[in-house]
Amino acid sequence: MRGEFGGQRGVALVVVLTAVAVLSVAVAEFSYNTRIHVGMTHHAQKEVQAYFAARSGIMLALFTLEAKEVVDKVIGMYASFLGGMNTQQIEIWRAIEPLCAGFSSGKFSLYGMDLIDFQGLEGMGMPKGQEFSCEVGLEDGKINLNSVSNTADKQSLYTQLRGLFMQQFASDMYNENERKVDEVIAAIIDWADPDDNKTQIEQGIVIESQGGAGEGGGRYSKFGYKVKNAKYDTVEEVRYVDGVTDGIYCLLKDKVTVYNTEKLNVNAADLEVVKGLVCAHLADAGKLLCNPQLRSSGLPAPIDIVGEYFEMCRQVKNKMFTPPFSSAKSFVSFFGKLSAFLGEELPLDTASLEKKVGTHGRVWRVTATGKAGNVERTITAVLDTSTGKISYWRE
């Protein structure tokens, strides 16, 4: 009997241990799933907080851009205490980034000096662990790929792109084949222009030949793409154009736009774009000033020296939220003043250059980033102030 009961106790022990093991696994699995769900809920909460932090930044920036007239009046009131100030000479959009930082933290600073501190006041600043920041840039400071409505626009676009491309002429991007540069630019223009004629460049002049953009039923490139004959929707679309390599695209992507801009804003344009534009308007006698082959030998081209003075001037003015140049004429005259430093005259075609540049903007790209803990959300918008509409929105 004792042996029989002992065997039963052994079986019961095994059953109990098995049940405990199964329950332990189930409890561990339940606990693990619970922790995962709690973590996912916490992350989702942070996602929502970061998203709305970014929305706060983007709406603050867009409101400031759209309400420039109101902001001008407010600044004008304070400017009167300083002896008067022309608010038209203040670029409000450059103050948006520190403005966003102030509303995010509750402390408004300028040039490292604390101006107003609302930290600790209810309703001011973001909750602990949350913040947002803004970046604002002018699309008008980029070359407009969609400016192909007529022959004059195409010629202007060709001049700007060629000036930019020739800055890289001594690199392996074109193998110093000047004809290849013109072919690529013609293809970029041909993609967006509305007609069926093929765009060609002959001795620096944009012309169109009859018969379509390519042979074989309109076949356009080795990839089989046909000419779109409509405006670019995105900058990335230029990669479909025949002859545009990865290197060319990387050169272009931050220097061109597809939005409703007018003249190139030299106050915000990339330095390489400005140098290229100036070089494109130099008379033949001044082409040596832009010789890119000097860079390959370790020497700066004279245009590079000019560019350093130009950029230094822009940086000083930008820190003061004022435009470096108030008009196209003042931009052109700037290079005349630099002739004394270079020791030689810059033979610029000033009349033609003035027609292609501007100093005002109407299309802005705003990027706002919201943070909550370790989570970030970014929203990008493009605002066209000439129409009051948002041309692009991406979350």
Please state the domain extents for the chain. Answer: 46-141+363-394, 143-358
**Residue that is written with structure tokens 């000419």 in the block:** 227
Q: Report pLDDT for 72.
A: 64
pLDDT in tens, 226-236: 778 889 999 99
What is the sign, positive or negative, of the torsion defined by CA atoms of 108, 315, 328, 256? negative
Two structure tokens written together for 203: 């001795």
For residue 207, give every residue at least 6 positions away whose Cβ sits within 8 Å of its Cβ, in sequence order, or none. Answer: 199, 200, 201
Strand partners, 368: 134, 379
**pLDDT tops 70 at residue 296:** no
| CATH classification for the domain delimited by 143-358, as one of 2.60.40.2470, 1.20.140.10, 1.10.40.60, 1.10.3470.10 | 1.10.40.60
Highest mean pLDDT among 31-35, 170-174, 232-236, 323-327: 232-236
Two structure tokens written together for 78: 């304070």
d(CA 124, CA 131): 12
Two structure tokens written together for 212: 């379509």
Question: Model's pTM, two decimal places?
Answer: 0.79
Nearest alpha-carbon partner for 321 in 362, 268, 277: 268
For residue 318, give every residue at least 6 positions away whose Cβ sits within 8 Å of its Cβ, in sequence order, or none. Answer: 91, 94, 324
d(CA 193, CA 227): 9
Nearest alpha-carbon partner for 185 in 213, 160, 203: 160
**pLDDT tops 50 at residue 214:** no
Task: Write out the E strands in 40-166.
Answer: 107-110, 113-117, 130-138, 143-144
The region of weakest confidence among 123-127, 142-146, 169-173, 386-390 is 169-173
For residue 237, give every residue at least 6 positions away whose Cβ sits within 8 Å of its Cβ, in sequence order, or none. Answer: 191, 228, 258
Nearest alpha-carbon partner for 140 in 361, 321, 355: 361
Q: Confidence band (pLDDT; 50, 70, 90) for 210?
A: low
d(CA 121, CA 124): 6
d(CA 199, CA 210): 9
d(CA 222, CA 392): 31
Q: Give the Cβ contact number of residue 335 at 10 Å.
A: 20
Per-chain mean pLDDT for the chain: 81
Q: Is the pLDDT higher at 300 or at 147?
A: 147
Q: Is the pLDDT higher at 221 or at 57?
A: 57
d(CA 198, CA 220): 10
**pLDDT tops 70 at residue 382:** yes
Q: How remote is the C-alpha of 358 from its chain's centroid? A: 19
d(CA 277, CA 310): 13
d(CA 219, CA 200): 17
d(CA 313, CA 330): 13
Q: Confidence band (pLDDT; 50, 70, 90) for 87?
A: low
Q: Confidence band (pLDDT; 50, 70, 90) for 375?
A: very high
- Using CB atoms within 10 A of its CB, is residue 11 exposed (0-12), middle (13-18) or buried (19+)? exposed
Q: Report pLDDT for 390.
A: 92
- Taking residues 34-51, what's their average pLDDT? 90
The region of weakest confidence among 109-118, 274-283, 352-361 is 109-118
Highest mean pLDDT among 57-66, 163-172, 196-205: 57-66
